[in-house]
Structure 1
Amino acid sequence: MPRGRYSLHDPHDHTPLGEEHFHCAPGPSGWRYVAQRTTPSGDHAGSVDLALDDLGRPLRLELHAGGWQVRGAALDGVTWVRTDPTGSHAAEGNVRAHAFTGSSPAFLVALTRLLRLTPRSDATRVRLVAFTDPVLAPLTVDQSWALVNSEAHATDNGPLTVDEYQVSALDTGERHTVHIAGDVVLAAPGIELEDLQDPPSAFT
C-alpha cells in the first residue's frame, strides 16, 4: 500500500499551495485513494476519497475543500452533488463525460486506469468534469492524452516501470507531461512527490 506525501504548487508561478498526505491501494473491485490536504502553514485544507472499479470508472468520489463538499460517481456519464456545510445550497450536476479531475494527483492515476493507453496507440480525447480550487466549482474540460514512453528502471524492489504521458488541453492547445509509476504520480505540473514509504502498486 503506497503511502506518502505530495507537495502542490501553482504550475505557472510555483507559489506553494500546500501538501497532500495520501495512501492508496488496489482492491478486489478496483483501486482506492484517500488523502488529507494541508495549507503551506500546515492547517487542514480538505480531503480526497476516490474509489474506482476494475475498469477505472469512478465508483465513488468525495471531496472536501473551502467549506464545500462534492460527492460523485459514474452515472449517465458523471453525476455529482456539491453542497455547503449547511446543505442549503446543494446543487446536482450531470455531464456526458468520461471521469472527474482536479488538482489531486489521484485523478491523474485514475484517468490512466480508465484509458489504458499503450505507447503505440493514438492520442485519446477525453471529456472531464474538473472540480476547481478553492471551492470545488465544477468545470467541463476536454483533453487529449497520449502515452509517449514507457521505461523500466532498476530499483531495490525490482524493476519499476515509469510511464510518460503527454496531455493537451484542447481549448488552449497547452501541453504538459505527466510521469506515473503504477499508482503513484512521480511528477506533473503543480505536483511533486516528496515522500513515498512503500513502492507503487502494479496494476494487472
Structure 2
Amino acid sequence: MPRGRYSLHDPHDGRLLAEEHFQCAPGPSGWRYVARLTTPVGEPDAGSVDLTLDSRGRPLRLELRAGGWQVRGGALEGLTWVRSDPEGNHATEGNARAHAFGGTSPAFYVATARLLRLTPQSPPTRIRLVSFSAPVLATRTADQSWQLTDTQAHATDNGPLRVDSYQVSDLETGERHDVHVAGDVVLAAPGIELEDLESPPNEFPPEPGE
C-alpha cells in the first residue's frame, strides 16, 4: 500500500498551495485513494480526498472537502454529485454526461489513466471530465485529449518500475502538458511533485483480454 506525500503548486508561478498526504491500494471493488491536505505552513484540515474506482476505472464514490465545502459524487447516469457545506445545508446537485472526475489531486490523473487504458498504438483519445477547483470546489466540465507517448522500465531495488508518459490537451484552451504515472502513483505533472513515497506503486491487474 503506497503511502507518501505530494506537494501541490500553482502551475503558473510555482507557489506552494498545499501538501497532500496520501495512501492508496487495490481493494474489493477496484482501487481506493485517501488523502488529507495540509497548508504550506503545515496546518492540518486543509481538505481531504476519498476516491474509489471500480475494476474498470469508473468512479464508484468521490468525497472531497476544501474551503468549508464538500462534494459527494459517483457514476450515475453519467456523473452525479452534490456540493454542500459540511452540515449538508445549501446543497446543490449536479449531473453531466461525463466519464470521470478531475481536480487538483494526483488521484484524478491515476483514475483517468486507468479508465482509458491507453497503449502506445492508441490514437489521441477524447474524454470529458467534471473537475472541482480549490478553494471552494467550483465545478467545470471540460473535454481533454489523452495520448500515451512513451513507456519505459526503470531499474529499482524492487525490480523494474514501468513509467507511462501521457500528453494531455485541454480541447477548449489548447493547453498541453505531460503527465508521468507509475502504477497508481503520479511521478510528475503540472503543479504536482512527489516528495516522499514509502513503498513501491501498485501495478493494476490486467482485465481479461488485455
Can you give the 5+ residue segments of structure 1 that lack an aligned partner in the other structure? none
- TM-score (normalised: structure 2): 0.96
In the alignment, the residues of structure 2 paired with residue 103 and residue 42 of structure 1 have an alpha-carbon distance, to the nearest angstrom, of 18
Query: Partners of 2:201 and 2:170 in 1: how far apart?
Result: 27
Q: Which residue of 2 aligns with 1:120?
A: 121
* Letter matched to residue 146 of structure 2: W
- Are 2:38 and 1:38 equivalent residues in the alignment? yes
Report the Cα distance in structure 1 between the residues aligned to 2:140 and 2:69, rounded to whole angstroms. Answer: 15
Q: Which runs of 4+ in 1 moved over 3 A?
A: none
In structure 2, distance between residues paired with 1:3 and 1:77: 31
Give distance in 1, aligned partners of 2:37 and 2:120: 33
Equivalent residue number for residue 6 of structure 1: 6
Alignment partner of 2:115: what SS? helix
* 1:18 CA displacement: 1.2
Q: Secondary structure at the match of 2:153?
A: strand
Counterpart secondary structure, 2:135? coil
Structure 2 counterparts to residues 80-119 of structure 1, below 5 A: 80-119=81-120
What is the number of residues matched between the two proteins?
204
Counterpart-to-counterpart distance in 1, 2:18 and 2:27: 29
- 2:199 and 2:93 mapped to 1: Cα distance? 38
Give the match's secondary structure for 2:57. coil
Q: CA deviation at 1:84?
A: 1.0
Q: Per the alignment, in what secondary structure is the counterpart of residue 120 of structure 2? A: coil
Give the structure 2 partner of residue 160 of structure 1. 161
Aligned to 1:56: 57
**Alpha-carbon distance in 2 for matches of 1:96, 1:187:** 29
Equivalents in 2 of 1:74, 1:123: separation in Å? Answer: 24
**Cα deviation code 1:50-73 (max 9, x no counterpart):** 000001000000000000000000
What's the RMSD between the two structures over aligned residues?
A: 0.6
Structure 2 residue ranges without an equivalent (≥5): 206-210
- The alpha-carbon deviation at position 88 of structure 1 amounts to 2.5
Residue aligning to 1:69: 70
Number of the residue aligned with 2:27: 27
Q: Hey, what's the Cα distance between the residues in 2 that align with 1:8 and 1:168?
A: 20
* Counterparts of 1:88 and 1:51, CA distance in 2: 25
- 1:30 to partner: Cα distance: 0.4
Aligned-residue identity in percent = 74
Aligned position for 2:192: 191
